[in-house]
Structure 1
């Protein structure tokens, strides 16, 4: 199944191209980008992120889109929807996520791209609920979640299974948005 392309006022959310991997690795090797995420070991592991995104699109018809700012840059980051790949109290679920090069922070791109992904998830996929997760200290991402109208599930905090016990990034907060709560 091919990946659809989404357009917003300023952005293009598009399928991955082989050349995107050249921009993905510098972004994922930047400590600012990865402050609240487990580190990506090397270029091979970074390329695997793109491969998983492409495979998710092939299986499900949606996934993590590359975010392009037309006329500015072909790769500002990525944003989209993925099936949560582990079992937890809120799964099965579809999660929205984003990762941007720090050069493009503070310009509203994450919120704009995520809004387009949410709209696609609710309108085109018919999802009833979309979740977002992050570590409690990631105030920038939590602010985006709140701007999107997502609400924190205060009873939903959990330990991320892929993160080692005792690691400072293990504890996660969960935000939720139901289709019925989306503002017209």
Structure 2
């Protein structure tokens, strides 16, 4: 089973120990975290726990979040991948596509490039019939990427822990 994906500019791969520091720096940026959960930043320990959880999801479910590395520089840009959105039980069972890139990687089409590779992986390699995307209402950048991926809005709901309005997008495999 493939767990490394390559695009023209990116390598999506499993996590390594030397990814913790650059991912922690990304997670510590308030602008990056603005639309994530309640908007709180994460420290190094939280980042390490997150990466351990993403790797556990790979082992247990065969899907997870990839470390996204720029091919030219080998610099960690962030993550993109698949997860089960357990925080939103009303849409389960579901697999969610997601991404988070450091601010220096914004505005270059890298999130869309990574997300396209992940979506192809989900529908072709993993054989998923349906993938959802969830974003906080107002996060226009995330919504634009979902639309570029061909996802369509399915419903609006509220984050059960934070009370924030959420929009769920969906794409289904073509048979």
TM-score with structure 2 setting the length: 0.93
Secondary structure of the structure 2 residue equivalent to 1:40: coil
Higher helix share goes to which structure?
2
Q: Does 1:75 align with 2:76?
A: yes
Q: Does 1:6 align with 2:5?
A: yes
Q: Does 1:131 align with 2:125?
A: no
CA distance in 2, matches of 1:7, 1:31: 29
Q: RMSD over aligned Cα, in angstroms?
A: 1.6
CA distance in 2, matches of 1:54, 1:79: 13
> Residues 174 and 50 of structure 1: is their aligned pair in 2 closer, same or farther, counting only changes over 3 Å?
same
* Deviation of 1:73 (Å): 3.6
Q: Does 1:99 align with 2:113?
A: no
CA distance in 2, matches of 1:176, 1:94: 10
CA contact 1:3–1:58 (8 Å) conserved in 2:
no
CA distance in 1, matches of 2:42, 2:83: 22
Aligned positions, number = 173
CA deviations on 1:103-158 (whole Å, 9 max, x unpaired) are 000111111111111111111111110000011110001000000010111xx211
Q: Which moved more, 1:79-88 or 1:46-55?
A: 79-88
1:25 aligned partner:
24
Structure 2, gaps ≥5 residues long: none
CA distance in 2, matches of 1:150, 1:125: 18
* Deviation of 1:48 (Å): 1.1
* Deviation of 1:88 (Å): 3.1
> Residues 42 and 3 of structure 1: is their aligned pair in 2 closer, same or farther, counting only changes over 3 Å?
farther
1:152 aligned partner:
153
Secondary structure of the structure 2 residue equivalent to 1:180: coil
* Deviation of 1:87 (Å): 5.0
TM-score with structure 1 setting the length: 0.88
* Deviation of 1:70 (Å): 1.2
1:179 aligned partner:
173
Secondary structure of the structure 2 residue equivalent to 1:26: helix
* Deviation of 1:3 (Å): 6.9
Secondary structure of the structure 2 residue equivalent to 1:106: coil
